[in-house]
Chains A and B, each alone.
Chain A
Amino acid sequence: MAKKITAVVKLQINAGKATPAPPVGSTLGPYGINMMEFIKGYNEKTAAQVGSIIPVEITIYEDRTFTFVTKTPPAADLIKKAAGIAAGSGTPNTTKVGKLTSAQVRAIAETKMPDLNANDLEAAMRIIAGTARSMGVTIEA
């Protein structure tokens, strides 16, 4: 059944661990949708990925129903995984914690391409490389 959309929001939250606390409650509550319904659905869908951030895009309709789709993991998670590090640097300008090859940057850019809305892969790679540097991860040629 076709319905009028009120809003589409993207949340980056912990897989399998959504709660009514922000950002879920603060984002969905004002639209009058039952956040517990979303929480149950999201936690069920992402139960196997606990420990990761799994972005979710929620479409809210004017009858206060909603649908949601989960998205690709954040670039930071993909960068950490590729660089073999547990966390980014707290002082990335002075402390480097890992490195990526340009081939790894390209692979992450390809994975993230649908969510970056970049014009081409080069632009997506520039975003991924910048994100990596902001975490203290250097890029090798």
Chain B
Amino acid sequence: MRWAEILVEVQAESCEAVTAILLEIGCKGVAQKLEPIAANGQWPVAEPHVPAARMPKPHEVTLLTGYLPVSDELGPAVDIARERLSRLAEYGLSAPESVTLRTVEDADWATEWKKHFKPLRIGKRLVIKPTWETWESAPGDVVVEIDPGMAFGTGGHGTTRLCLLLLDELVQPGWTVADIGTGSGILSLAAARLGASKVHATDIDLLPRKVSRQNVGASGLDSVVTVHEMADFDAAAVECNLVVANIIADAIIEIAPSVLPRLLPGGIFVSSGIIDDRVDDVVCALMSTGFQVVDVREDEAWRAVVARKPIVAD
């Protein structure tokens, strides 16, 4: 798909009005680059979450960029935007200094970050290797090869890292593992490489199911990892030693009652993708479902909860 960028140079006092106009004509969002707070105009070395940028002052000129898909409706939409932008002075604001239209190709940014995705060691044994990179394994390395495409799961994110470290600690040879919200398939592949004899994976979205199947096939693990359609997963993923779900807090809370019967007595549920201020909600939901919560791991703002199905029901 091709996209059109509408670049509007305008005094900052009109940013809110310009943004509203761009969104009203159908832009999927508006981007603005901010300036450093520092008087020298340089970006500083800073601790995460320490404010380093400032909004422009009302009469400073700033650049807003809106994006519209290129279609037959583009020309009329841009005409409407230009006409409305030119009238801003009538409402006590500044009219834009310039309005420029240019087209950009979708593929440019979809793959740009891959250039920077390098092999990544997680813990002592696991190595996450993009398919397009090379890696010389050391003895004991467990190499997981993936091409995440547009699916979530590169190993670089705290939620995925937490799951990988826990799988490395917990998975025993011969185990049956289920992976809910598999994304790129990274956790399923890691479980298989760590010795699981059967891994059942699924994802609510079609794209990750497709991407994870490709990664399973490329890794030669088709006999161990099966990426199921949602409906098939329910029947297949039973008598599991471990279930991992790297999704979000609300989804974990929702699926917890259905995870418990999938596990063998003493089986483990690793849930991740939980932002710090939701971890108590997840822990409460797991406990009320009948799990024993045995550990909570942290990685920056993210949390992973390790829960166990009681060996003997209360």
B20:A32 contact, CB within 8 angstroms:
no
Interface residue? B189 (CB, 8 A)? no
Report the interface size class on chain A.
35 or more
Scan residues 106-141 of chain A and give those whose CB is less than 8 A from a CB of chain B: 112, 115-119, 123, 126-131, 133-135
B140 within 8 A of A: no
Q: Does B124 belong to the interface (CB within 8 Å)?
A: no
A23 near B29 (CB under 8 angstroms)? Answer: yes
- Tell whether A49 is near chain B: CB-to-CB under 8 Å: no
The interface-forming segment of B38-46, B193-201, B234-242 is B38-46
A interface: dominant SS: mixed
The B interface, classified by DSSP as helix, strand, loop or mixed, is mixed
Q: A125 to chain B: closest CB distance in Å?
A: 11
The smallest beta-carbon distance between A43 and chain B, in angstroms, is 8
Q: Mark A25-39, 1 if CB is under 8 A from B, else 0.
A: 111111011111101
| A contact residues around B249 at 8 Å (CB) | 44
- Chain B residues within an 8 Å CB radius of A67: 48-49
CB-CB under 8 A from B34, the residues of chain A are: 8-10, 57
In the complex with contacts A44-B275, A90-B80, A134-B31 CB distance below 8 A: no
**Most chain A beta carbons < 10 A, residue from B110, B148, B275:** B110
Assembled-state Cα–Cα distance A139/B210 (Å):
53
Residues B58 and A20 in contact, CB atoms below 8 Å apart: no
Select which of A11, A21, A117, A131 is within 8 A of B55 by beta carbon.
A117
Give complex CA distance A107, B3 in Å: 37
Q: How far is the CB of B146 from chain A (nearest CB, A)?
A: 12
Assess whether B67 is interfacial by the CB under 8 Å rule.
yes
The 9 closest A-B pairs by CB, nearest first: A29-B109, A22-B67, A8-B53, A76-B20, A133-B91, A75-B16, A32-B116, A130-B93, A29-B112
What is the interface of chain A, defined by CB distance below 8 A to chain B?
1-14, 20-30, 32-37, 39-41, 43-45, 47, 53, 57, 59, 61, 64, 67, 69, 74-76, 87-88, 90, 92-93, 112, 115-119, 123, 126-131, 133-135
